[in-house]
Amino acid sequence: MDKEFELMEAVEQVREGWRRKASEVAKRVVAPRAAEIDETGEFAWDLAEEYSQHGFLSLLIPKEYGGMDADITSFCLVAEEIANYCASSSLLVIVQAVGTMPLALGGTQAFKENFLTRIVKEKALICFCVTEPDAGSDSASIRTKAVLKDDHYLLNGRKCFITNGGVANYYAVFAVTNPGVKMEGISGFVVEKGTPGLSIGKTEEKMGIRGSNTTEVILEDVKVPIHHRIGDEGAGWWQMMRTLNRSRPAIGAQAVGLAQGALNYVVRLAREKGWTKEKGETSGVPYTLADMATQIEAARALVYKAANMMDEKAKGTPVQVFSAMSKYFASDVAMKVTTDAVQMLQWQGLTQRHPVERMMRDAKVIQIFEGTNQIQRMVVAHTLLKSK
Ligand SMILES: Cc1cc2nc3c(=O)[nH]c(=O)nc-3n(C[C@H](O)[C@H](O)[C@H](O)COP(=O)(O)OP(=O)(O)OC[C@H]3O[C@@H](n4cnc5c(N)ncnc54)[C@H](O)[C@@H]3O)c2cc1C
């Protein structure tokens, strides 16, 4: 029993270490850059370098391949602390984990030794390429094809809305290897930047999360060696789903961090400007602040429950349901809290003088990516209705 307790204490200490480190980096380098990153929409290479020095870009890569071997809770803590100041900069950490996860979950030992080790050594960025113009929510309908020819596959297709598509060194690409069988016909591949036939299309001008690079990724007769396939042929769907189940709590954590950032900002203003006295209770300011804080705590609790279930590998529990709940609930809370923060500042809330305007635009995007909030509700409802 003592041993078990000591182990739990040690795990908590490691998590707290990640939280503190992320908080320090967020205050020192992210906060001063947040407004500018949003305004220019440029990729923050300086932050990528800083993150990689602290291990934020190899968080979920196992130690034996040079990674940090962090658990999902620590991953969430890092995402949350950074999102307190800048959701775009938090997404950089999340997407790197999303890109490396299929490799870590599905690759053979030799594959992992090759690619994961290189990603860490080269401080390389990787992106996760599933979405296509006609396959967003319904990712089983992707049309990108991978046709086996002797010792390689030929990949052809068009991916869109790919985070870090224009800046990545490696692309985790999901394609159809067996068109007759839908999910079981999807396989994952690693494509290296510079491979002939791989090109970057349109860069999206988004309303929010503007500091994150989002592009089309075009594959035209891209020759990919067999040993670049992630695990077995047909295992791609399983790799995608297992990855998203683990990343959705981190998206929830990003939403919690963003909402907390907005709340901290308006509470500071309310204190400085004496709003609660001046505007009085009739203005609703104190009650709105209380609601914002309560909603954020509820979202945080759900996010950490989902993350903990992943870490505990909770058997017999539908972890994907908690993962979906945490993503949609936390991002809906972020949307509500940031909208209330803008409303509280009245016309000034609409201007770039205050970060809550940016935060509100960022919250909207979080409701859409990593599976829309409608789709997350479907996951929950589907499980409720099918269980006896
Ligand atoms: C900023 C950003 C970054 C992204 N990064 C990546 C990335 O790195 N890699 C990647 O692969 N993808 C990425 N995406 C894509 C993202 O995951 C998709 O946008 C998302 O899954 C929704 O797909 P869609 O936009 O094609 O919408 P659609 O699937 O066309 O859905 C349109 C609307 O219909 C609703 N809907 C669809 N099907 C149903 C249904 N059966 N029941 C009820 N409602 C339904 C949806 O909720 C949505 O409101 C990113 C998107 C954004 C905005």
- How big is the chain by its Cα radius of gyration, in Å? 21
The protein residue with its alpha carbon nearest to ligand 1, atom 51, reads 369
Which three-class secondary structure state does DSSP give residue 214? strand
Atom of ligand 1 nearest to the CA of 204: 1
Of the residues 95, 375, 380, which should be mutated to test ligand 1's pocket, given the most ligand atoms within 8 Å of the CB? Answer: 375
Rounded to an integer, what is the distance from CA 346 to the centroid of its chain? 31
pTM value? 0.96
Nearest in space to 265 (alpha carbons), one of 328, 209, 349: 349
Burial of 352 (0-12, 13-18, 19+ CB in 10 A): exposed
Q: Is the separation of the CB atoms in 49 and 123 below 8 Å?
A: yes
At 10, list the tokens.
């040690």
Q: Mean pLDDT for the chain?
A: 95
Tens digits of per-residue pLDDT, 307-328?
999 999 866 678 999 999 999 9
Indicate the length of the chain as a whole number: 388
What's the whole-number mean pLDDT along residues 359-368?
Answer: 98
Residue 374 alpha carbon to ligand 1 centre in Å: 10
Of the residues 38, 92, 100, 137, which should be mutated to test ligand 1's pocket, given the most ligand atoms within 8 Å of the CB? Answer: 137
Burial of 244 (0-12, 13-18, 19+ CB in 10 A): buried
Residue 99 alpha carbon to ligand 1 centre in Å: 18
Residue 133 alpha carbon to ligand 1 centre in Å: 10
Give the model's confidence band at 277: pLDDT under 50 very low, under 70 low, under 90 confident, else very high: low
Residue 137 alpha carbon to ligand 1 centre in Å: 5
Which residue in the block uniquely carries the two structure tokens 């309303």?
207
Tens digits of per-residue pLDDT, 326-338?
999 999 999 999 9
Tens digits of per-residue pLDDT, 233-243?
999 999 999 99
CA-CA distance, 131 to 247, in Å (whole number)?
16
Does 225 score more than 90 pLDDT? Answer: yes
CA-CA distance, 123 to 211, in Å (whole number)?
20
Give the model's confidence band at 278: pLDDT under 50 very low, under 70 low, under 90 confident, else very high: low
Rounded to an integer, what is the distance from CA 105 to the centroid of its chain? 17
Residue 24 alpha carbon to ligand 1 centre in Å: 33
pLDDT of residue 274: 81
Which three-class secondary structure state does DSSP give residue 151? coil
Tens digits of per-residue pLDDT, 85-130?
999 999 999 999 999 999 999 999 999 999 999 999 999 999 999 9
Angle, helices 356-366/236-273, rounded to nearest 10 degrees: 160
Give the model's confidence band at 180: pLDDT under 50 very low, under 70 low, under 90 confident, else very high: confident
**Of 30-44, 262-276, 373-387, which one has max mean pLDDT?**
30-44
Distances (CA, A) of 216 to 155, 240, 249, 341, 343: 15, 19, 26, 34, 35
Atom of ligand 1 nearest to the CA of 163: 8
pLDDT of residue 168: 98
pLDDT of residue 11: 92
User: Looking at this protein, which amino acid is placed at residue 198?
Assistant: L
Q: Is the separation of the CB atoms in 324 and 305 below 8 Å?
A: no
Does 282 score more than 90 pLDDT? Answer: no
pLDDT of residue 172: 98
Burial of 33 (0-12, 13-18, 19+ CB in 10 A): middle
Of the residues 212, 369, 378, 382, which should be mutated to test ligand 1's pocket, given the most ligand atoms within 8 Å of the CB? Answer: 369
Least confident residue range of 40-54, 145-159, 306-320, 360-374: 306-320
The protein residue with its alpha carbon nearest to ligand 1, atom 44, reads 374
Q: Is the separation of the CB atoms in 366 and 254 below 8 Å?
A: yes
Residue 114 alpha carbon to ligand 1 centre in Å: 32
Ligand 1, pocket residues at CB < 6 Å: 95, 127-131, 136-137, 161-163, 206, 209, 214, 365, 368-372, 374-375, 378
What's the whole-number mean pLDDT along residues 33-50?
Answer: 96
Does 380 score more than 60 pLDDT? Answer: yes
Q: Is 132 an active-site residue?
A: no
Contacts of 39 (CB under 8 A, 6+ apart): 210, 352
Does 287 score more than 80 pLDDT? Answer: yes
The protein residue with its alpha carbon nearest to ligand 1, atom 6, reads 162
- Catalytic-labelled residue, pool 80, 216, 357, 370: 370
Of the residues 89, 131, 379, which should be mutated to test ligand 1's pocket, given the most ligand atoms within 8 Å of the CB? Answer: 131
CA-CA distance, 93 to 52, in Å (whole number)?
9
Residue 196 alpha carbon to ligand 1 centre in Å: 29
Does 295 score more than 90 pLDDT? Answer: yes
